[in-house]
Amino acid sequence: MSTGTVLQRDDVPLDLRLSEAELDTTRDHLVSFVEEQVDAAGADGAVLGLSGGIDSTTVAHLAVEALGADAVHGLVMPSEVNDPDNMSDAERVAELLGIDYDVVEISPIAEQFFEALPDAADDQMATGNVRVRIRAVMNYFLANAENRLVLGTGNRSEALTGYYTKYGDQAVDCNPIGTLYKQQVRQLADHLGVPEDLVMKTPSAGMWVGQTDEEEMGLDYDTLDAILAVHVDGGLSTSATCEALDVPREHVERVRELYESSAHKRAMPPAPDDLGL
């Protein structure tokens, strides 16, 4: 059960934390969601990638509560750019939950792509996306073989800003925490009894050495969540958002740019209009 102590902060632009009653309701709702998705698909369980981060850790806890440890299979998929501590944390999560897991080193697979197109391999973002898409393929390879669903680990903050790889970490069957802002994911994780060091861990997509989410986006998650809630989801103008949250205008404009430029990730691929022939 949550201690709440790791999340008691007064310096966030907007407090999006849920009450204890809301946390209980959210937990029950998400556990039921996972169970219903697996049942509706006629699947025998779930597969998810374990990164050692708070999102995959939270989804793993929810999945075990919904399905039982025997029905959850984790994949830990390190490469040469990943922090070894993160991979150790991923294995620790699997062992704490008592789920089966496999460690699959993806570097040899990625190198086949890089050797096939060496000029493209000079692009850091392109190579990072290859690693993420390989992990998605591995998730589905295992899920298909074992008649399981692939559980996504993306949150609302990532979805609205497009902070994920297209046809990569959002190539999933369902997203249990997809409606929660990052701040709320941390809070739910604490409520679920996730170890404090994992709850407060610095988020990283593990796309290249030293990469962190907040550095790449240019602002911290608490500020991002607040702007998303007030400006993107809430519809407040840029000026009103700056005043309400006491944040610089460039922060709001940055979030708006991320939201608008990633619209294609939240939609089906476009096709020509029907000609009515």
Where residue 100 sits, what CATH number does that domain have? 3.40.50.620
Domain count of the chain? 2
Q: Would strands 149-150 and 46-49 be described as parallel, antiparallel, or unpaired?
A: parallel
Instruction: Look at residue 7 in the predicted model and tell me its pLDDT.
Output: 52
How far is residue 172's CA from residue 152's CA, in Å, rounded to a whole number?
Answer: 5
- Predicted local distance difference test score (pLDDT) of residue 165: 94
| Residue 252 within a domain | yes
Are residues 165 and 193 located together in one domain of the fold? Answer: yes
Establish if 12 belongs to a structural domain: no
Helix (H, G, I), strand (E, B) or coil at 102: strand
| Number of helical (H) and strand (E) elements in the chain, helices listed first | 12, 4
For residue 232, being part of any structural domain is answered with yes
| Predicted pLDDT at 1 | 45
Return the pLDDT at 190. 96
Domain that includes residue 194, residue range:
17-213
Residues contacting 28, CB < 8 A, separation 6+: none
Q: What's residue 43's pLDDT?
A: 98
Q: Give the pLDDT confidence score for residue 5 in this predicted structure.
A: 45
The length of the chain is 277
DSSP string, 146-196: HT-EEBP---HHHHHHT-S-TTTTT-SSB-TTTTS-HHHHHHHHHHHT--H
Q: How far apart are CA 129 and CA 271, in angstroms?
A: 24
Looking at the fold, whether 251 and 170 belong to one and the same domain comes out as no
pLDDT at 214: 65
Is 68 found in the same domain as 180?
yes
Verify that 237 and 200 share a domain, yes or no.
Answer: no
User: How far is C-alpha 55 from the chain's CA centre?
Assistant: 5
Strand partners, 80: none
Q: At what angle do helices 20-40 and 54-67 cross, to 10 degrees?
A: 70
Which residue ranges of the chain lie beneath pLDDT 70? 1-11, 82-84, 203-214, 216
The amino acid occupying position 220 is: D
**What single letter denotes the amino acid at residue 214?**
E
Q: Is 6 exposed, middle or buried (0-12, 13-18, 19+ CB in 10 A)?
A: middle
* Angle, helices 107-116/124-146, rounded to nearest 10 degrees: 130
Domain identity same for 235 and 105 = no
